[in-house]
């Protein structure tokens, strides 16, 4: 990695260099990207796909849900390592991949074009998430038409994102993440006092590595959208940038001071990734358990307009009708937080695409921020339009999840390549992390092939 001669003002603003925190309590002040990504992660995949998978197969694919939660965090951590050390944004990193295609203003890497294509299913999934949040509102206010509720939420999301600011977003997400995590854990715990309680035989059966081909599309979509999916892995790098990790390390100058800062801030980054992994696991498993223990036992499979109504019976059949409010509030917090964070994350890609395609200068930071705000205002209403056309949240999220599974091996393979070719040896990952990322790459190639076979072919 050569010393930077013209730093990107987005990743390396002037006077951003700072020594890393020295202790645990000091480190806590610099965590935050993991909270935002948790708000994005714990959403459609968990409350819709994970619960639907449990409803379809019972406990038999518990191992699959655990794998979906845990197997992608190594990619999240290692791609973020490259970004915070190099000062590249995610899309600039994509454009460094070997293999160029003709672009509007010069050669562009093939993964960049794949990212552009991914926007279509990504926006479709967003429509499903906003639609699900609207259905949660209707559970609380039954006389409100669903489309009105979705339109109102689109308006609120646009208003919240009009400023485009990171700090405000982090505070909103923290409240929503704490709320839905506590409600989900409490509900799953209360289920253990009913006839639908999970026992150790259910858990052991769910760890037997059985895979039902009858629900292959749903299972593959759940893998693609549960835990950190491809869009969330990439969005996480932007939250790390806006939290200031690359700025505090500073542009590479091959000095001992730079290596010391890099080591310290990488410790902060790893702590943030672990925090996100714990949150998403605690919020994901209860929904699978509720789906397997209640919906599967009663023979229900959520799909269209009634998705949230069917899912609400995970609570009402076990705890009583009063718990509908608990479910509705938790579901709203989960899906609404995913809507906000999903739109905000997508907004960070647009100016970067324009830069990498040659339409915008990297030095025009004010234009970048204006595009981010404009996207945050416009796209919630596009999601509303897509929901109005489909009105099937499970299908919409399944489409997005399936494509996300195809993008994952591209990201893990590119991360391996960039770390090996562009990072100094002293800050490259250790043998264990490198081995885990390679194993993840091989597994994700297999998952992408399975998606192409079961979904496309």
Q: Going by C-beta distance under 8 Å and a sequence separation of 6 or more, which residues neighbour residue 306?
A: none
Residue 1 lies in a domain: no
Residues 304/391, Cβ–Cβ less than 8 Å: yes
Residue 305's pLDDT is what? 47
Domains contained in the chain, number: 1
Residue 10 lies in a domain: no
pLDDT by position in tens, the chain (length 457): 666 556 789 999 988 999 999 888 899 889 989 888 777 766 555 666 787 788 888 888 889 888 888 888 999 999 999 999 999 999 999 999 999 999 888 899 999 988 887 777 777 777 777 877 887 788 788 888 888 988 998 998 898 888 757 777 777 777 877 777 777 777 777 777 777 788 888 888 888 887 777 777 777 777 766 777 788 899 999 999 999 999 999 999 999 999 999 999 999 999 999 988 888 888 788 878 878 887 787 777 665 445 566 667 666 766 677 777 777 787 777 778 778 888 888 899 999 999 999 999 999 999 999 999 999 999 899 888 887 876 665 566 666 666 777 888 999 999 999 999 999 999 999 999 999 999 999 988 987 787 777 655 5
Residue 162's pLDDT is what? 84
Q: How many CB atoms lie within 10 A of CB 117?
A: 12
Residue 9 lies in a domain: no
First to last CA, the chain: 42
Residue in the structure block whose two tokens are 């076990």: 318
Residue 12 lies in a domain: no
Structural domain that includes position 434:
24-456
Q: Going by C-beta distance under 8 Å and a sequence separation of 6 or more, which residues neighbour residue 82?
A: 88, 93, 415, 418, 419, 422, 423
Residue 391's pLDDT is what? 64
Residue 15 lies in a domain: no
Q: Write down the pTM of the prediction.
A: 0.86
Residue 11 lies in a domain: no
Residue 106 lies in a domain: yes
Residues 227/280, Cβ–Cβ less than 8 Å: yes
- Comparing C-alpha atoms, which of 228, 239, 363 is closest to residue 283? 228
Residue 285's pLDDT is what? 83
H or E element: which one contains 9?
Answer: none
Q: Domain holding 122: CATH number?
A: 1.20.1740.10
Residue 79's pLDDT is what? 97
Residue 225's pLDDT is what? 66
Residue 3 lies in a domain: no
């Amino acid at each position: 990695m050569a010393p930077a001669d013209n730093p990107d003002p987005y990743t390396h603003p002037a006077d951003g260099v700072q020594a890393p925190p020295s202790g645990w309590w000091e480190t806590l002040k610099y965590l935050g990207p993991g909270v935002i990504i948790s708000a994005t992660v714990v959403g459609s995949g968990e409350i819709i796909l994970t619960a639907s998978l449990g409803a379809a197969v019972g406990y038999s694919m518990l191992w699959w849900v655990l794998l979906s939660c845990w197997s992608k965090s190594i990619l999240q951590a290692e791609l973020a390592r490259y970004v915070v050390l190099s000062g590249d944004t995610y899309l600039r990193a994509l454009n460094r991949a070997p293999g160029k295609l003709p672009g509007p203003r010069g050669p562009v890497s093939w993964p960049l074009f794949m990212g552009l294509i991914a926007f279509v299913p990504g926006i479709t999934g967003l429509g499903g998430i906003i639609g699900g949040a609207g259905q949660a509102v209707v559970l609380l206010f039954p006389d409100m038409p669903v489309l009105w509720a979705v339109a109102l939420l689109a308006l609120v999301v646009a208003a919240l994102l009009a400023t485009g600011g990171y700090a405000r977003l982090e505070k909103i997400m923290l409240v929503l993440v704490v709320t839905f995590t506590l409600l989900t854990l409490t509900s799953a715990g209360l289920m253990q006092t009913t006839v639908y309680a999970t026992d150790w035989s259910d858990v052991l059966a769910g760890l037997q590595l059985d895979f039902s081909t009858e629900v292959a599309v749903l299972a593959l979509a759940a893998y693609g959208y549960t835990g950190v999916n491809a869009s969330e892995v990439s969005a996480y790098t932007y939250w790390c940038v806006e939290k200031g990790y690359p700025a505090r390390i500073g542009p590479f100058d091959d000095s001992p001071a730079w290596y010391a800062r890099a080591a310290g801030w990488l410790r902060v980054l790893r702590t943030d990734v672990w925090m996100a992994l714990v949150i998403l696991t605690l919020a994901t498993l209860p929904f699978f358990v509720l789906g397997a223990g209640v919906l599967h036992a009663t023979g229900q499979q959520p799909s269209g307009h009634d998705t949230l109504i069917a899912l609400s019976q995970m609570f009402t059949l076990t705890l009583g009708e009063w718990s509908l409010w608990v479910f509705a509030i938790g579901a709203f917090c989960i899906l609404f937080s995913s809507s906000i964070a999903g739109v905000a994350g997508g907004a960070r890609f647009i100016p970067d695409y324009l830069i990498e395609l040659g339409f915008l200068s990297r030095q025009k930071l004010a234009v970048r921020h204006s595009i981010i705000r404009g996207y945050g205002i416009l796209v919630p209403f596009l999601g509303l339009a897509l929901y109005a056309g489909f009105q099937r949240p499970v299908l919409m999220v399944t489409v997005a999840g399936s494509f996300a599974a195809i993008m994952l091996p591209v990201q893990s393979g590119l991360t391996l390549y960039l770390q090996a070719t562009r990072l100094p040896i002293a800050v490259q990952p250790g043998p264990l992390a490198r081995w885990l990322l390679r194993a993840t790459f091989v597994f994700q190639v297999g998952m992408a092939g399975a998606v192409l076979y079961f979904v496309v072919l």
